[in-house]
Chain A
Amino acid sequence: MVVGVSDPVRTLYRTLLAYGAFAILILIAGVAEYVHFEPFTSSASVHAKAVGVYAYDPATKQTSGPDRERFARNEEFAAVVDWSGLPDNITVEAVWFDSFENVVGSVGPGTPSQLRSQTIVPAEVPQGLKYHLPGEYIFAIERLDNGRPVEVIGRRVVYVER
């Protein structure tokens, strides 16, 4: 093989390896970000109960009907949480995320006893829109540590149809 010290292909190879080193730094930063927001050792072994997701009337602020997994875009809906089984030494919040991962409703953060009166968490239509965005909505009951969500202790996923 005729590849000497001055072979320009070797220069290309070295340039590529330099890019590779930079790529490794990016991926390490990505793993660090993931671990920071999703720590492996943070489980508190508690579970919150999302009782269900129901049709919701904003006027009366009450839910009605059976627990459902699918809603139309023009339907209002809300999750019901049972905070009673949780220890009071943790900080929690309940959040609705729409299909674009925007927060579209929440209660908390607070201790379970502080949130006991807020059992209904409606998913709100984003400002400027007339209907819910279609797609998968995640309702997450999160445990917080130093103000940052570190664990999902209860979860429901519902689908808003097109």
Chain B
Amino acid sequence: MSAFSTPTAANPRPRNRPARYILAVVIGAVVLLVVAGNSLLDYVFIDTIPGRATLYGLVAVALIALGTYIQARAFNRDAVTRRRHLIRAGVLLGLAAMLWLLISDLFLFAESAGPGVAAVCALACVPTTAFGLWVVRRIDRNEKEPWRLVLVAAAWGAVVATSLVIWAETFWDAVAVNTLVPGPGLDASNAFSAGMFEELGKGVAVLLLFLVMRNEFDDVVDGIVYGAAVGLGFNFMETITYMTNLYAILSPEGSGGIAAGFQWYARQVLGLFMGHATYTALIGAGIGIARQLPSRRQKVIAILTGFLVAIAAHFSWDAWLTFFPIETSLFGLVEVHLRTIVMTGPFTAAVIVLLVMGLRNESRALYEQLHKEAGGGAGAVLPAEVDILASPWRRFGERLRALDKGGLGAYVRLARLQTAQLDLAMERWHRERQEIDTPLEAEQELRGEILTLRRQAAF
């Protein structure tokens, strides 16, 4: 069959939106209702600083929800409409971020340590978190996720998930402190609270991306990338909270700076990939595996298992941290590292195992699809390009060659061509597995785009 014939689509796009969009809207609505309800209850009954912050933060959450919706609408549109939607979404998300930071500074960070310290803490966390996001995006060596989605994931982790957690944990803590015996029982209770609420809050972001951005959510690798990005965003905000809080507590004793610096090191260097990034990556792995499973039952089990593993991993750290006390001597520095490696390392290793398996599956499948596409003779992928496209290093080598011959423009044009060719192979892979709901015509459009890009990239 010629690649340019027009057969019936394998899975024609339904006339209405797929059911998963409805599910996404329901989940989004539930999140907003929980957010609104929690904040009002907190404000009325607890009236703590988080209570006030979260009430005023509702506006930021609403802006983020609207911005994300508009951004999701931008896809599959013509270039002009897409640009307009993306600009609107960007403005709304930017406003939300600024509003939230303002609220956070006023009611959480600035109140405890002052705006100057809060700003220094936030600035200290920017390069490390940015590095984390860069690494996480790079590990998807075959088809990197768009920066805008990676950043949306991180923003959800930093702003929405932390907000959900403040409300839920404040309630849980208020009840636990007034009913339980202080000690290991209370620690276990708080660890369950942190594990459940924080992982649910973060995981909802990955789930929504899975439901709404299916074209950019291919497999377990993508799930791990988005999950880790959400976790890094959450870790960013949590680090600032801990740094400012400990600074405020210990600065009258003369050790505020050291305490804040230690928190930065523990969370932004030692635990950058091990804590929240690992936990949410496990959720993402579950969702990514579900993406490619055949039955709905298996999909649900995979998603729930991802959440379960993340909750257990998070719980084990919070509940059993006290079983690994740190000495105040110099050996304490070694113990801090050992504790993190021993307690969180196995879960990070578990993510790496899934990642390596996923990358291997993906590479094998892409090679096979590139080979088939080249054999079809449509010209989107040439036989000589298959081995190059299948290897990240050889792709990079080709781009460097283009840079050498035609400058930066040639490099960018070739990168676009390679990305489109890999997109096509990915599309073919999903279609072969019957796990795609875009019509076959979309694949043919992509071939046309590739031919245009090839002409532009010629040097």
The answer on A and B forming one complex is: yes
Known: A15-B353, A157-B177. A9 touches B309 (CB 8 A): no
A residues 97-125 in Cβ contact with B at 8 Å: 97, 101
Check if A59 is an interface residue, CB within 8 A of chain B: no
Smallest beta-carbon distance B290→chain A, Å: 9
Question: Which residues of chain B are near A151, meaning CB under 8 Å?
Answer: 181
Q: Show the binding face of A for B, using Cβ within 8 Å.
A: 1-3, 8-9, 11-13, 15-17, 19-20, 22-24, 26-27, 30, 33-34, 36-38, 73, 95, 97, 101, 129-131, 133-136, 138, 140, 142, 149-152, 155, 157, 162
Smallest beta-carbon distance A31→chain B, Å: 8
Check if B178 is an interface residue, CB within 8 A of chain A: yes
Are A152 and B294 in contact, CB atoms less than 8 angstroms apart? no
Question: Which residues of chain B are near A73, meaning CB under 8 Å?
Answer: 252
Are B433 and A30 in contact, CB atoms less than 8 angstroms apart? no
Given contacts A37-B184, A131-B252, 4 further A-B contacts (CB under 8 A): A2-B433, A9-B292, A34-B185, A151-B181
Check if B316 is an interface residue, CB within 8 A of chain A: yes
Are A1 and B294 in contact, CB atoms less than 8 angstroms apart? yes
Check if B373 is an interface residue, CB within 8 A of chain A: no
Are A12 and B308 in contact, CB atoms less than 8 angstroms apart? no
What 9 pairs across the A-B complex have the smallest Cβ distances? Answer: A37-B185, A23-B312, A38-B185, A1-B294, A20-B305, A26-B312, A34-B188, A8-B361, A23-B309
Question: Which residues of chain B are near A16, meaning CB under 8 Å?
Answer: 285-286, 289, 302, 305-306, 309, 354
Taking a contact as CB atoms closer than 8 A, the residue among B301, B308, B319 that contacts A30 in the complex is: B319
In the assembled complex, 11 residue pairs joining A and B whose CB atoms fall closer than 8 Å, in A order, are: A2-B433, A8-B360, A16-B354, A19-B350, A20-B309, A26-B316, A27-B308, A34-B189, A129-B253, A140-B181, A152-B180
Smallest beta-carbon distance B359→chain A, Å: 11
Known: A16-B285, A37-B185, A38-B185. A8 touches B253 (CB 8 A): no
Q: Beta-carbon contacts of B304-329 to A below 8 Å, as 1s and 0s?
A: 01101101110110010000000000
Check if B249 is an interface residue, CB within 8 A of chain A: yes
Are A27 and B248 in contact, CB atoms less than 8 angstroms apart? no
Are B293 and A9 in contact, CB atoms less than 8 angstroms apart? yes
Q: From B282, B350, B358, name the one whose CB has the most chain A CB atoms within 10 angstroms.
A: B350
Check if B452 is an interface residue, CB within 8 A of chain A: no
Smallest beta-carbon distance B49→chain A, Å: 11
